[in-house]
Amino acid sequence: MRPSSSPSDGLLGGLSGTSDVDAELSDPAVLQAMLDAEAALARAVADAGIMPAPAAEAIVARCRAERYDPGALGRAADATGNPVVPLVGELTAAVPEHHRAWVHFGATSQDVLDTALALVAVRALGPLLRHLDTAVDAAAQLADAHRDTVMVARTLGQQAAPTTFGLKAAGWLTGLAEARDRLRQAGVAQPAQLGGAVGTLAAYGPAGADVAERFAAHLGLPPSPLPWHTRRQPWLDLATALGGLLVAAGKVALDVGLLAQNEIAEVAEGGVGRGGSSAMPHKRNPVDSVLVTAATRRGPGLVATVFAAAVQEHERAAGAWHAEWEPLLDLLHVTGGAAARCARMLVGLRVDARRMRANLDATGGVLLAEAVAARLTPAVGRRAAHDLVTRAAAAPSFRAALLADTEIRAHLSDTEIAEALDPHRWLGSAGRFVDRALVAVRGADG
């Protein structure tokens, strides 16, 4: 388990996480979630008429994390392979002797820890999704404000043709919004776990299924149709959604980092005093882009571990279940940090529309070669048009070469060449795509 402090309190943890998400992932938070599961169990068993109500009340009253030492529980867990066993021992000792037999009644360690991690995930997703909402809103504002701001589109690392910054931002927006939808769905689908030793809930007799439903209701989690001790789809859905968000945020970060390069300088991260270098006073590094990118490098390994652990034997796994705990917490940690930094990056992003246009014009109109070829094609055919324009594009001045080429001039006038070289006339459906993205996201939010 993690140290008692929040992951963001350490020397490096604050660079990958964010304090509000990490507060839900700290050792005290995980411990409280385990105790919440024990309290809900007592209530559910009492509701079913199996446990005396005073026993349930005594157990619930002692399910407060501040009564217990996470570090000591973690050290004691080495003897049993999980921290639930020593926690149950301490909780039992804290309860009056005549109620002790009812502590953890009918449950197994995995029930408590799986349910606790489901609670932790749901609680951590609250602040994480708020950061994501901010990022989505900021991307929407950028797409709206720059719907018609022309810039260079780049493919395979090279300048390709005109596009708009609004369309680029709309792509960020759509990726983030889709990731948000998947993460919300995964969050609300995290079920409580209660199956007892082998998934039969035999200790409760025929009331077992009812106890499981009451248990989930007390926790505010959905019940599972049957125990999922070795059916790990809830974790797979959560890991996939978190990994997808890292990809969506990473796309934004990568684009921002490339566009912020000095040679391009079309955007810059905001924030006074951010991005300094220890060696070079002139540098202003895109630190949010860098840190989000770092998170995307960690995510795939964590997701892969969750998937690798998902094939589990018989009714309870030996080792595979244990392998899930820390990767799940780490995945929530790095994804929370990425969401917060992506939001800050987009909210403060400075867009230089003049520089975008200057970069577009720097190649003398050659980025409109496709537009010129399209105008020539009806007259000379596609292959001939492509060859004529390719020849002109190799000249020092594309515009001058077009105007001087007699074969091209036989079919295109000065006005037609000028129109073909106007980037605003070669944007296709860019504006409509931006509008669609905005309607889709704002309509869903509304």
- Find the CATH number of the domain harbouring 413: 1.10.40
Do both 360 and 345 map to the same domain?
no
pLDDT in tens, 366-392: 999 999 999 999 999 999 999 999 999
Structural domain range at position 417: 355-445
Do both 108 and 242 map to the same domain?
yes
Ranking 133-147, 262-276, 282-296, 396-410 by mean pLDDT, the lowest is 262-276
Distances in whole angstroms, Cα of residue 32 to Cα of each of 116, 232, 310: 8, 23, 26
Q: Is 316 a catalytic residue?
A: yes
Q: What is the pLDDT of residue 234?
A: 97
Q: What is the pLDDT of residue 282?
A: 56
Average of pLDDT values for 13-40? 95
What is the rounded CA–CA span in Å between residue 125 and residue 180? 10
Percentage of the residues of the chain whose pLDDT score is greater than 90: 90
Ranking 107-116, 297-306, 398-407 by mean pLDDT, the lowest is 398-407
pLDDT in tens, 139-148: 999 999 999 9
Model confidence at 272: pLDDT above 70 = no
Q: How confident is the model at residue 1 (pLDDT cuts 50, 70, 90)?
A: very low
Q: Are 160 and 367 in contact (CB under 8 A)?
A: yes
Average of pLDDT values for 150-166? 96
Model confidence at 287: pLDDT above 90 = no
Q: What is the pLDDT of residue 161?
A: 95
Number of domains observed in the structure of the chain: 2
Q: What is the pLDDT of residue 3?
A: 45
Do both 348 and 375 map to the same domain?
no
Do both 157 and 203 map to the same domain?
yes
- Residue 360 vs residue 272, higher pLDDT: 360
Distances in whole angstroms, Cα of residue 201 to Cα of each of 12, 48, 207, 382: 44, 13, 9, 73
Do both 339 and 426 map to the same domain?
no
Do both 317 and 379 map to the same domain?
no
Q: Is 26 a catalytic residue?
A: no
Instruction: Return mean pLDDT, the chain.
Output: 94
What is the rounded CA–CA span in Å between residue 7 and residue 28? 12
Do both 350 and 363 map to the same domain?
no
Q: How confident is the model at residue 340 (pLDDT cuts 50, 70, 90)?
A: very high
Got the DSSP string for 184-231?
HHHHHT------TTTSS-GGGGGGHHHHHHHHHHHHT-PPPSS--TTB
- Radius of gyration of the chain from its Cα atoms, rounded to whole angstroms: 29
- Residue 49, classed as helix, strand or coil, is coil
pLDDT in tens, 62-93: 999 999 999 999 999 999 999 999 999 999 99
Ranking 143-147, 273-277, 283-287 by mean pLDDT, the lowest is 273-277
Which one of the listed residues 182, 316, 341, 344 is annotated catalytic? 316
Do both 195 and 324 map to the same domain?
yes
Domain boundary among 337, 354, 371: 354
Do both 344 and 371 map to the same domain?
no
Average of pLDDT values for 401-427? 94
Domain boundary among 305, 323, 354: 354
Model confidence at 317: pLDDT above 80 = yes
Q: What is the pLDDT of residue 387?
A: 95
- Residue 55 vs residue 283, higher pLDDT: 55
Q: Are 96 and 215 in contact (CB under 8 A)?
A: no
pLDDT in tens, 171-205: 999 999 999 999 999 999 999 999 999 999 999 99
- In the chain, the amino acid numbered 157 is G
- Which residues are bridge partners to 319 per DSSP? none
Q: What is the pLDDT of residue 271?
A: 67
| Residue 2 domain-assigned (yes or no) | no
- Find the CATH number of the domain harbouring 196: 1.20.200.10
Q: What is the pLDDT of residue 13?
A: 80
Average of pLDDT values for 287-297? 95
CA torsion sign, 19 to 271 to 445 to 246? negative
| Residue 1 domain-assigned (yes or no) | no
- Which residues are bridge partners to 164 per DSSP? 150
What is the rounded CA–CA span in Å between residue 1 and residue 419? 65
Which one of the listed residues 277, 297, 397, 425 is annotated catalytic? 277
What is this structure's pTM?
0.93
Q: What is the pLDDT of residue 273?
A: 59
Average of pLDDT values for 229-234? 97
| SS percent in the chain: helix, strand, coil, step 5 | 65, 5, 30
What is the rounded CA–CA span in Å between residue 350 and residue 270? 6
Model confidence at 2: pLDDT above 90 = no
* DSSP letter, residue 391: H
What is the rounded CA–CA span in Å between residue 252 and residue 139? 10
Model confidence at 7: pLDDT above 80 = no
Average of pLDDT values for 7-17? 79
